[in-house]
Amino acid sequence: MNMALMHILFIAIVISTANAKEGDFPSLDCKAENLGQYGQQSLLECVIKNPKEDTSILMVSWKKGSRTLLLFRNGAIQLQEPGFLFAQASWNASNMNVSLLITNTAVAHQGRYKCDVMTNNSPPPTELIKISLKVTAKYSKPTLTLKTDGTLTCASNGGYPEGQLRWSNERSAKLPNDPQTQATQTNSGLFQLSSKLVVGKESSVSDFTCSVFNASGGREEESQFQVKDEPKTEEQRKELDTATKIVAPVVVIGSLIAGLLLALLIYRRRSQNNRRPSTTPLMRGHVGVPTSDEVMMEEGDDKYPDNTA
Ligand SMILES: *[C@@H]1O[C@H](CO)[C@@H](O)[C@H](O)[C@H]1NC(C)=O
Ligand SMILES: *[C@@H]1O[C@H](CO)[C@@H](O)[C@H](O)[C@H]1NC(C)=O
């Protein structure tokens, strides 16, 4: 006997025992937690498991609270709220997929649902099946507006559940005095978020980012704003200040150098004038006496007649 055959046999046994355990009666199997997006279709999934060959559906009822949304009984749909239908197109009593489709999901659709099914060969329902729908809506890209009072306002709308706005700039991921997010709920149940930041104090920083985070802490969108008014002019003023601080020493040093050059020029000219007529008598007013350095040295060697006398 080869291994493949043994494998197949083993699988066949596993399947048959599993069927024997669950397969006594058809039962309803529903997805407990369903997610829906605002404005989109949502699916609440329920399927009859282990149907027999002759299983046919006698009754299906979908309820939210005490309100009946969809009711099939006596071979026909008896009640149907607008926007709620069987997920399977052209559903009939022999279709075991009794999932509910919500065509245009709203925040109000969030909550607990109940599905009851009766078939020709199912036992009376014994346990309540829990089905819930969670609705989410994406927040819009934040809009940033600067007011004349120096506050930068960030706003993001149309999200659900309640989210948060956070500020950051090129220096820090989170501003130290991060302002609180104001949240208001519109009639549709969606949230409008806004947050005000005073930008006058942050004069050296000009790029602000406002990010919107959803209820589970995921960043959804962000926008940047460059503050061009007060902080910018202050910055320019600072630049001007540093410019004059640089220019002033340059002027002082420049004039100093110019003065030195001038002095050097005058000195050189004067010394040249002194040296050229070195052979002609000129110095110390002793007219007619040779006053060149060599002559004076020779005289000096000769026992300093002038000083020692
Ligand atoms: C039930 O029907 C819906 C809509 O056609 C489908 O998305 C879903 O996968 C079906 N579920 C099962 C278990 O077949
Ligand atoms: C939050 O945002 C993250 C990242 O974009 C996303 O994966 C998650 O599904 C969102 N959660 C909700 C509740 O919207």
**Where do the domains of the chain lie, and which CATH numbers do they carry?**
24-136 (2.60.40.10), 143-226 (2.60.40.10)
Q: Which residues pair with 308 in a beta bridge?
A: none
pLDDT of res. 250: 54
Side-by-side strand order, sheet with 164-169: 164-169, 207-213, 219-226
pLDDT of res. 141: 97
pLDDT of res. 127: 62
pLDDT of res. 269: 72
pLDDT of res. 268: 75
165 C-alpha to ligand 2 centroid (Å) = 15
C-beta of 41 in contact with ligand 1 (< 6 A): no
Helix/strand/coil for 159: strand
190 C-alpha to ligand 1 centroid (Å) = 29
Mean pLDDT of successive 10-residue stretches along the chain, which has 309 residues: 55 45 75 97 95 93 95 96 96 96 98 94 71 97 91 95 92 76 96 90 71 95 78 49 50 65 73 55 45 43 43
C-beta of 215 in contact with ligand 2 (< 6 A): yes
What is the rounded (10 degree) CA torsion for 238, 244, 247, 251? -170
Which atom number of ligand 2 is nearest to the Cα of residue 161?
13
Which of 214, 219, 221, 222 for mutating ligand 2's site (highest number of atoms within 8 Å of CB)? Answer: 214
pLDDT of res. 201: 56
pTM for the predicted model, two decimal places: 0.65
218 C-alpha to ligand 2 centroid (Å) = 5
Take residue 128 and report the two structure tokens written for it.
């309540």
C-beta of 217 in contact with ligand 2 (< 6 A): no
pLDDT of res. 100: 98
- The one-letter amino acid code at 235 reads E
pLDDT of res. 305: 44
Residue with CA nearest ligand 1 atom 13 = 47
163 C-alpha to ligand 2 centroid (Å) = 11
Q: Which long-range contacts (CB under 8 A, 24 or more apart) does 214-217 make?
A: 214/136, 214/138, 214/139, 214/159, 214/161, 214/163, 215/136, 215/161, 215/162, 215/163
**What would the pLDDT profile of 83-126 be if each residue is shown by its tens digit?**
999 999 999 999 999 999 999 999 999 999 999 999 998 766 65
C-beta of 97 in contact with ligand 1 (< 6 A): yes
pLDDT of res. 6: 57
User: Can the peptide bond before residue 161 be classed as cis, meaning omega within 30 degrees of 0?
Assistant: yes
